[in-house]
Amino acid sequence: MIANRSDFAVLKPFRLGARGPFRFTIWHGVALLAALAIAVGIGEAQAQAAAGKPGIVETILKWTPLLAQGFALNIAMSFMAMAIGTAVGVPLGLAQISLLPPVRTGSWFVTQFFRNSPWLVLLFYCMLLLPFELRIGNTIIPLPGWLKSTIGLSLPVMANVSELVRGAVRSIPFGQWEAAESVAMSRRQTLTMVILPQCIKRMTPPWMNLYAILTVATPLTSVVGVSEAMTLTGDILSSEARTELLVPMYLYLLLWFFIYCYPIARATLALEKRFAVK
Partner 1 sequence: MALDLQPIWDCFRVLNETTGIKLTIFYDTFDRARFFNGFLTSVRLMAVCLVASVVIGVVGAWIQGSRLRVLRLVTQGYIQFFRNTPPLVQLYFFYFALGSYLKITSGNGIATPIVSNFTWAAICLSFYAGAFNVEIFRAGIEAVPRETLEAAESLGYSRLKAYAYVILPLAFRISLPALNNNLVNLIKTTTIAYAIAVPEMLYVANQIWSDESNVPEMMNVLLIVYVSLVGLLVWVMGRWERALTIPGYSPV
The whole-angstrom separation of Cα 160 and Cα 93 is 9
* Binding of residue 230 to partner 1 (CB under 8 A): yes
* Binding of residue 247 to partner 1 (CB under 8 A): yes
**Contacting partner 1 within 177-216 (CB under 8 A):** 212, 216
To the nearest whole angstrom, how small is the minimum distance from the Cβ of residue 234 to partner 1?
A: 8
To the nearest whole angstrom, how small is the minimum distance from the Cβ of residue 164 to partner 1?
A: 13
Burial 40-65 (b: 16+ CB within 10 A, else e): beebbeebeeeeeeeebeebbeebee
To the nearest whole angstrom, how small is the minimum distance from the Cβ of residue 37 to partner 1?
A: 18
Q: Which residues contact 199 (CB under 8 A, 6 or more apart)?
A: 165, 168, 169, 172
Q: Which residues contact 153 (CB under 8 A, 6 or more apart)?
A: 77, 78, 81, 85, 119, 122, 123, 214, 217, 218, 220, 221
Which residue stretch of 6-14, 40-48, 65-73, 179-187 sits at the interface with partner 1 (rule: CB under 8 A)? Answer: 6-14
Cα–Cα nearest to 206, from 86, 91, 118: 86
CB 196 within 8 A of CB 55: no
* Binding of residue 262 to partner 1 (CB under 8 A): yes
The whole-angstrom separation of Cα 179 and Cα 166 is 20
Which residue stretch of 80-88, 131-139, 167-175, 246-254 sits at the interface with partner 1 (rule: CB under 8 A)? Answer: 246-254
List 10, 49, 99, 184, residue binding partner 1 (CB under 8 A): 10
Which is nearer to partner 1, 117 or 198 (by Cβ)? Answer: 117
Q: Which residues contact 232 (CB under 8 A, 6 or more apart)?
A: 66, 67, 69, 70
* Binding of residue 11 to partner 1 (CB under 8 A): yes
**Mask: binding to partner 1, 117-156, rule CB under 8 A, as x and -?**
xxxxxx-xx--xx---------------------------
* Binding of residue 257 to partner 1 (CB under 8 A): yes
For residue 263, the number of C-alpha atoms closer than 13 Å in the C-beta half-sphere is 7
What residues make contact with partner 1 under the rule CB under 8 A? 1-3, 8-19, 21-22, 24, 112-113, 116-122, 124-125, 128-129, 212, 216-220, 222-223, 230, 234, 237, 243, 246-247, 249-251, 253-254, 257-258, 261-262, 265
